[in-house]
């Protein structure tokens, strides 16, 4: 894929370039001696590129490999294959001090701030820890000033310094998590489901805070979410992942206006539209069957076991590549043009299920498994 061809040293060019990234976890069996009996293909050949100062939103249902991809970029898990170029440097080739320095420039915001913040440390200690670890404290006065400016940046009062994580609300805790992530003045923030655990009203505030910080500090974001609404508002480019691979990538507005891949179409059809007339006339695309196991993904197109547009030729035995259908619009489907132009029509879920030997719930209810696909997709976030 050639998602962008802008040279890395130009302002606005790629800060991060991921090529052919794979993370396969071994499946071990055996009582006395562990034998590797297979692999979970959590990430299975991902190419993506994120321009400086922009936001890439990564969506997909639970277990499709989003977090593993984020962790592999930071080398919190070792990639099985592929490369991660950060500001032109191959992260996989780094060891020791150079790796530590590179990590300082790439920070992570987690879904569960309570779980990721040490409950025994107060905010002052939580925020000073990364500064000390990287020798950036600048003495007691310097550190105090830096911490106050961090609190100010994330909208928390100075009084928060003496308090502990459990004394804060979910939204405030996420602000502490963000303050900690920006303490070392990174270039890239990987935010893994940063608002999934928060109420919708608080989600909007945290999303706004991330946007403000991006503008002020020139940050580049990879935002991971299963909530299409959250990703829409914050992203310049959105990538949709299915079973370890990207199936579609597009500028956010284009993707929401006209999703091209059948999987993206199904995801989008599950997001409620605020206009009641449009909502009433909308067709919901239901998918048949379970999400297949990443330890044993389907042949050909990985989505063929659930795809309402699946064709007799190519879909079952030829893996589609992510190709550029229109400027900036990448899609991994043999029949994307025919689907876009309405030449091919979708089959009903019962029909898809019958060809795959999948159990389907009674008519009108839809396949039971479809719920898993739309799980967590919320009302669009109201911006404040
Ligand atoms: N350390 C590990 N060892 C073995 N398998 C793993 C490991 N980490 C993740 N997996 C598996 O890899 C696949 C992808 O997991 P991952 O957590 O990346 O998905 P995800 O898209 O982030 O899901 P969610 O939305 O639920 O967070 C899953 O099948 C998961 O069980
Ligand atoms: S290649 Fe075939 S199975 Fe895969 S998404 Fe396209 S139409 Fe569906
Ligand atoms: Mg995850």
Pocket flag, ligand 1, residue 64 (CB < 6 Å): yes
Q: At what angle do helices 123-133 and 139-153 cross, to 10 degrees?
A: 120
CB of 63 shorter than 6 A to ligand 1: yes
Examine residue 16 and state whether it is found in any structural domain, yes or no: no
**How do beta strands 188-192 and 220-225 pair?**
parallel
Bridge partners, residue 324, by sequence: 330
Contact 34, 213 (CB under 8 A): no
Which structural domain range is residue 333 located in?
261-374
The full length of the chain comes to 384
171 lines ligand 1 (CB under 6 A): no
Tell whether ligand 1 has an atom less than 6 A from the beta carbon of residue 241. Answer: no
Q: In this predicted structure, what is the pLDDT of residue 357? A: 58
Whether the predicted pLDDT of 109 surpasses 50: yes
Question: Is residue 350 domain-resident?
Answer: yes
Any residues with CB less than 8 A from the CB of 167 and at least 6 apart, and which?
none
CB 150 less than 6 A from any atom of ligand 1: no
- The residue-averaged pLDDT of 349-360 equals 66
pLDDT over 70 (residue 371): no
Report pTM.
Answer: 0.88
Residue 134 to residue 137: CA distance in whole angstroms: 8
Q: Is residue 159 part of a domain?
A: no
Distance between Cα 225 and ligand 3 center (Å): 8
Ligand 1 proximity of 62 Cβ (cutoff 6 Å): yes
CB under 8 Å, gap of 24 or more: what pairs does 296-303 form?
Answer: 296/38, 297/41, 297/44, 297/243, 297/244, 301/332, 301/333, 301/334, 302/242, 302/243, 302/244, 302/245, 303/242, 303/243, 303/247, 303/261, 303/262, 303/263
How much is the pLDDT for 72?
A: 96
Has residue 271 been placed in a domain? Answer: yes
Instruction: Looking at the CA of 297, name the nearest ligand.
Output: 1
Distance 63 CA to ligand 1 centre (A): 5
Average pLDDT over residues 319-336: 97
Task: Indicate whether 200 belongs to any domain.
Answer: no
Whose CA is closest to atom 13 on ligand 1?
42
* Local confidence band at 337 (pLDDT 50, 70, 90 cut-offs): very high
b/e code 271-305 from CB counts within 10 Å (16+ = b): beeeeeeeeeeeeebbbbbebbebeebbebbbbbb
Contact call for residues 219 and 186 (beta carbons, < 8 A): yes
318 found inside a domain: yes
Residue nearest to atom 7 of ligand 1 (CA): 25
Residue of 327, 324, 344, 322 whose CA lies nearest to 335:
344
Question: If pLDDT is split at 50, 70 and 90, which confidence band does 283 have?
Answer: confident
Which residue, judged by its Cα, is nearest atom 24 of ligand 1? 62
pLDDT of residue 354: 74
Q: Which protein residue's CA is at the shortest distance from atom 1 of ligand 1?
A: 25
What helix, strand, coil percent values describe the chain, rounded to 5?
35, 20, 45
What token pair was written down for 382? 């109201």
Judge if the beta carbon of residue 315 lies within 6 A of ligand 2. yes
Residues 6+ apart with CB under 8 A from 155: 175, 209
pLDDT at 361: 39
The alpha-helical segments, DSSP class H, found in the chain are 66-73, 96-104, 113-116, 123-133, 139-153, 170-182, 200-217, 228-234, 252-257, 262-269, 276-281, 336-340, 349-356, 370-374
Q: How many domains does the chain have?
A: 1
What local confidence, expressed as pLDDT, does residue 197 receive? Answer: 85
Residue nearest to atom 12 of ligand 1 (CA): 42
* % of the chain residues with pLDDT over 70: 89
Indicate if ligand 1 lies below 6 Å from the C-beta of 297. Answer: no
CA 253 / ligand 2 centre spacing (Å)? 23
When mean pLDDT is compared across 46-55, 157-166, 361-370, the lowest value belongs to 361-370
> Which atom of ligand 2 is found nearest the CA of 301?
4
Pick from 240, 239, 191: nearest CA to 213: 191
Q: Whose Cα sits closest to atom 5 in ligand 1?
A: 25
The whole-angstrom separation of Cα 250 and Cα 243 is: 19
Comparing 236 with 113, the larger pLDDT belongs to 236
CB-ligand 2 contact for 346 (6 Å cutoff): no
Dist CA 238 CA 328 (whole Å): 11
Q: What is the pLDDT of residues 246-267, one digit of tens each?
A: 999 999 999 999 999 999 999 8
Q: Average the pLDDT over 113-127 and give the result.
A: 90
Examine residue 321 and state whether it is found in any structural domain, yes or no.
yes
Distance 227 CA to ligand 3 centre (A): 12
Q: Order of strands across the sheet with 35-51?
A: 35-51, 14-29, 81-86, 89-90
333 Cα to the center of ligand 1, angstroms: 24
The reply to whether 199 falls in a domain is: no
Q: Which of 228, 222, 312, 293 is nearest to 263 (CA)?
A: 228
Q: How far apart are CA 223 and CA 127, in angstroms?
A: 22
Nearest CA to ligand 1 atom 28: 63
């Amino acid at each position: 894929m050639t998602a962008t061809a802008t040279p890395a040293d130009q302002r606005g060019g790629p800060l991060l370039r991921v090529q052919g990234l794979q993370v396969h976890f071994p499946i071990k069996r055996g009582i006395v001696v562990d034998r590797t009996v297979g692999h979970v293909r959590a990430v299975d050949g991902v190419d993506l590129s994120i321009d400086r100062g922009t936001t890439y939103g990564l969506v997909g249902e639970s277990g499709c490999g989003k977090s593993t991809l984020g962790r592999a970029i930071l080398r919190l898990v070792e990639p099985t294959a592929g490369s991660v170029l950060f500001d032109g440097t191959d992260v996989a080739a780094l060891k020791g001090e150079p790796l530590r320095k590179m990590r300082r420039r790439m920070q992570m915001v987690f879904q569960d701030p309570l779980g990721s913040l040490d409950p025994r440390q107060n905010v002052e200690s939580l925020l000073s820890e990364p500064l000390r670890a990287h020798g950036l404290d600048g003495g007691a006065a310097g550190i105090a000033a830096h911490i106050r400016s961090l609190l100010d940046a994330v909208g928390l009062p100075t009084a928060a310094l003496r308090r502990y994580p459990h004394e804060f609300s979910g939204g405030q805790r996420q602000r502490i998590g963000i303050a900690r992530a920006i303490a070392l003045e990174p270039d890239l923030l990987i935010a893994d489901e940063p608002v999934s655990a928060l109420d919708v009203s608080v989600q909007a505030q945290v999303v706004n805070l991330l946007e403000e910080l991006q503008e002020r500090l020139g940050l580049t974001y990879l935002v991971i979410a299963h909530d299409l609404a959250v990703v829409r508002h914050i992203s310049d480019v959105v990538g949709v992942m299915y079973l370890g691979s990207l199936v579609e990538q597009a500028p956010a507005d284009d993707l929401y206006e006209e999703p091209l891949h059948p999987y993206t179409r199904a995801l989008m059809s599950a997001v409620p539209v605020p206009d009641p007339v449009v909502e009433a006339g909308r067709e919901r695309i239901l998918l048949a069957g379970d999400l297949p196991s990443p330890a044993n993904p389907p042949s050909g197109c990985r989505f063929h076991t659930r795809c309402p547009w699946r064709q007799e030729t190519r879909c079952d035995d030829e893996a589609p590549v992510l190709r550029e259908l229109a400027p900036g619009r990448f899609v991994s489907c043999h029949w994307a043009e025919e689907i876009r132009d309405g030449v091919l029509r979708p089959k009903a879920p019962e029909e898809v299920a019958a060809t795959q030997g999948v159990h389907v719930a009674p008519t009108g209810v839809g396949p039971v498994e479809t719920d898993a696909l739309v799980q967590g997709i919320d009302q669009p976030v109201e911006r404040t």
